[in-house]
Structure 1
Amino acid sequence: MPLRALHTLTDIAPENWDRLLPDDQPFLRHAFLLSLEESHSVRPEAGWRSEHLVWQEAGKITAAIPGYRKHNSSGEYVFDHGWADACQRSGIRYYPKWLGAIPFSPVGGARLLGDAMAARQLLVDLPDYLAQQGLSGAHINFTDAPADALLREQPQWLERLGCQYHWLNHGYGDFQDFLATLMSRKRKQMRKEREQVAESGFTFRWYQGDELTETQWDFIYTCYANTYAVRGQRPYLTRHFFSLLAARMPEQIRVVIASLGEQPVAMAFYLIDSHTLYGRYWGCLAEFNHLHFETCFYQGMEYAIAHGLQRFDAGAQGEHKLVRGFEPQLTRSWHQLQHPGLREAVGQFLNEERAGVRAWAVEARESLPFRRGD
């Protein structure tokens, strides 16, 4: 078959994978995905088995989807636990399933990589692959517009909408320019939050990936892991992942470390491409008033403005972002379910859910803090 699976990215040369990518988004790079594998952040014991689907013609890979065989629904950020529970009650097998996504990263972007015609043929042949492999279905999360167009052509795929909140740089010269676009009460609130952090003695320093020592990476990981520990959970990523990533793609890593006096107390880990700053992980050693907002939001906004970036994606969820100028953005995922009854029931649910998500996005836009036109 032209469609085949790669169970590790070591089976394809980095340059052959990366030439399929449409842009420089870091999450799709061979280096990022391989670091997840080799650090054992992605591993079968945690419910993730690498299963990247590729389309090969005349010995050359012309299209691909980064993917995984899943035995649970953790770390996906498109929540289908209810579907799995309903299957269990009805005696329908839901796992294993196949997932086309970037693990632990609710970031929109290309999912159907390479030549569009080859990607279309991959989608056409995918149901046969699922049946042969005994998979309950396929799910492709956080797609971009070209992938949406190809998936919409296939009637068996069900569309699901979500909503995130992104900060957009409308040509601001500095942070004060942004504040000037806000209603007075919101502008004063942000200024007060930032002033309280500054008056408490916090300082902030930005680093590129290759500017950080292993001791600093130890601190970064401690902060990251602590965000899970306080909830009694195990972190998705291992410490080794950060060292691998720093060695392989340091130019796309940014970290801001917050210090109180000489003591580092918090950090935010970002990735970057030519137009977007992606806020991924945050952590602190103790709780401080407004420090999260400053480290994760305001520092990122200032960085985006200073470096001419168009967008700041600070992560999934978080309606509290609205009052700080993060604008609602619809996200899409696509689902192909092999069981006819399950497909029909989920299809009906998604029809209602899409209407609700669209209505919420409109309502959320009304909550933005920007000054209204005269």
Structure 2
Amino acid sequence: MTEQDTRLTLTTAGSMAEIDPAAWDTLAGPGNPFLAHAFLDALEQSGSVSEQTGWLPRHLILSTATGRLVGAVPLYLKAHSWGEYVFDHSWARAYEQAGGAYYPKLQAAVPFTPVPGPRLLAGDGPDAPAIRRALADGLVAVAETLEVSGVHATFVADHDMPPLAMAGFMERHDVQFHWHNRGYGSFNDFLAGLAARKRKTIRKERQKVADSGLRFRALSGADITAEAWDAFHRFYHATVDRKWGEAYLTRDFFDRLGQMMAERVVLIMAYDGDRPVAGALNLIGDDALYGRNWGAVVDLPFLHFETCYYQAIDVAIERGLARVEAGAQGGHKLLRGYEPVTTRSAHWIADPRLARAVKGFLDQERAAVDAETEALADHLPFRRDDPA
């Protein structure tokens, strides 16, 4: 940086529309589609993210004296803990029972998206480590200015953890299940590496769906029509309704996603004749396929596995992608070749009494999660003679 550039200013932005898209995307990098300016802006412009839904944008911006953007954090003022996938409801209850106000809080995250990635956006230049440290300190400064209970950075990239820890954040672990492509040329190549019983189970599951007569298409780019989005939005609502959840993503969000990022979308659709009956939304990164939402209007055994997991593996092999990240939770993924991976979040708590209690909880939880992850790895379905 020049001497003038070293004079940095920390501010917050009330929307992605206030931030230059090219400057933001340079900091975020191309690898993770959920950090793209277009994705975050689509959430806001569609009303999926707003004060009304409990996600008020307060993006952290680090700029030089000349106005050049050198660092950023996707940041939201939260009135609840929904849509985060890292659960702190028990912390909120305990603090409120003790007379504290847990909400509002700050959330450094991509809303409704349990995908690991950078949260301290600093690009890849030589100043990136120093910028990440300034952003971590900036999160605490903003929290103190707003007088919130704390800051929670979820699904954090590994290189973000040291500066967050130096700023006083506590580390939390969880586990996800990711499929890894070991140079497979086909789905059968993948199956060949599994134990015979597991291989047989997956073949039976896929055959059961095939026998139903459903056909599948992986739509991307211009192939994703408004009719396809209409159908997928119905599936999304059907699944949310069954799970007693809340459908945050509006129909307009899917239109905006299709307009701005269609080439990075893979919409896997299942058809009964010409009628779409199920679908799974995936986004493409530099080296991964990210599974996000799914839904169906028919009840068919193994349709979920086929649409979300097996079809995703087919796409990843075809496109030469290194892995499939299938979202949060789901131990059933293990027996289908998805391997346990540790995910991390970081938490700064303003009240030292609550911070001490949370630290004690996290120390015990990390040990339990790490032990569980190690134990799960011993139950992978791969052949014992497989060098993988």
Of 70, 76, 93 in structure 2, the residue corresponding to residue 62 of structure 1 is: 70
> What residue in structure 2 maps to residue 8 of structure 1?
15
Deviation string, structure 1 residues 167-199 (Cα, Å, up to 9, x no partner): 000111111111111111110000111111111
- What displacement does 1:37 show? 0.2
Counterpart Cα distance in 1 of 2:274 and 2:17: 42
Partner residue, 2:89: 81
Is 1:162 aligned to residue 174 of structure 2?
yes
Give the whole-Å Cα distance in 2 for the aligned partners of 1:40 and 1:126: 25
Indicate the residue corresponding to 1:343 in structure 2. 355
Q: Does 1:281 align with 2:289?
A: no
2:139: which partner in 1?
Answer: 126
Q: Determine if the alignment matches structure 1 residue 225 to structure 2 residue 249.
A: no
Give the Cα separation in 1 of the matches to 2:19 and 2:252: 22
Residue 13 (structure 1) shift: 1.5
Contact 1:268 1:281 in 2 (8 A): yes
Asked if structure 2 preserves the Cα contact closer than 8 Å seen for 1:55 and 1:119, the reply is: no
1:105-126 deviation digits (Å, cap 9, x = unpaired): 0000111101331221222243
For the residue of structure 2 that corresponds to 1:44, the secondary structure is coil
Residue 107 (structure 2) pairs with residue 99 (structure 1): yes
2:153 corresponding residue in structure 1: 140
2:379 is equivalent to residue 367 of structure 1: yes
The TM-score with structure 2 as length reference comes to 0.94
Q: Residue 217 of structure 2: which of 202, 205, 209 is its match?
A: 205
Aligned to 2:208: 196
Question: Does 2:222 correspond to 1:215?
Answer: no
The letter of the residue matching 1:322 is L
- 8 Å Cα contact 1:95/1:136 also seen in 2: yes
Aligned to 1:30: 37
Alpha-carbon contact 1:94-1:136 (below 8 Å) kept:
yes
Cα distance in 2 for residues equivalent to 1:33 and 1:123: 21
Whole-angstrom distance in 2 between the partners of 1:151 and 1:163? 20
Q: Does 1:177 align with 2:185?
A: no
Q: Please say if residues 269 and 281 of structure 1, whose CA atoms lie closer than 8 Å, have aligned partners that are also in contact.
A: yes
Write out per-residue CA displacement over residues 332-363 of structure 1, whole angstroms, 9 at most, x where no aligned residue. Answer: 00000000000000000000000000000011
Between stretches 224-233 and 28-37, larger displacement belongs to: 224-233
1:48 is matched with 55
Partners of 2:139 and 2:220 in 1: CA distance: 40
**Structure 1 unaligned runs (5+)?**
none
Tell me which amino acid in the other structure corresponds to 1:83: W
Determine if the alignment matches structure 1 residue 354 to structure 2 residue 366.
yes
Q: 1:179-224 deviations in whole A, cap 9, x for unaligned? A: 1111111100001111111111111111114322212211110001
Root-mean-square deviation over aligned CA pairs: 1.2
The 8 Å contact of residues 160 and 333 in structure 1, kept in 2 or not, is answered as: yes
- Paired amino acid for 1:140: A
Amino acid paired to 1:239? R
Residue 199 of structure 2 aligns to a residue in which SS? helix
Partner of 1:19: 26
Aligned equivalents of 2:216 and 2:181: distance in 1? 22
Structure 1 residue 33, shift from structure 2 partner: 0.2
CA contact (8 A) 2:224 2:262 kept: no
1:52-77 per-residue CA deviation (whole Å, 9 max, x = no partner) reads: 00111112121011010001000000
Structure 1 match to 2:4: none
Give CA deviations for 1:121-170 in whole Å, capped at 9, x if unaligned.
2222432321221111111111112111322333x210000000000001
Distance 1:128 1:149 in 2: 18
CA deviation string 1:268-313 (max 9, x = no partner): 1110012100111111111011111111111111111111000101
Alignment-derived partner of residue 119 in structure 2: 111
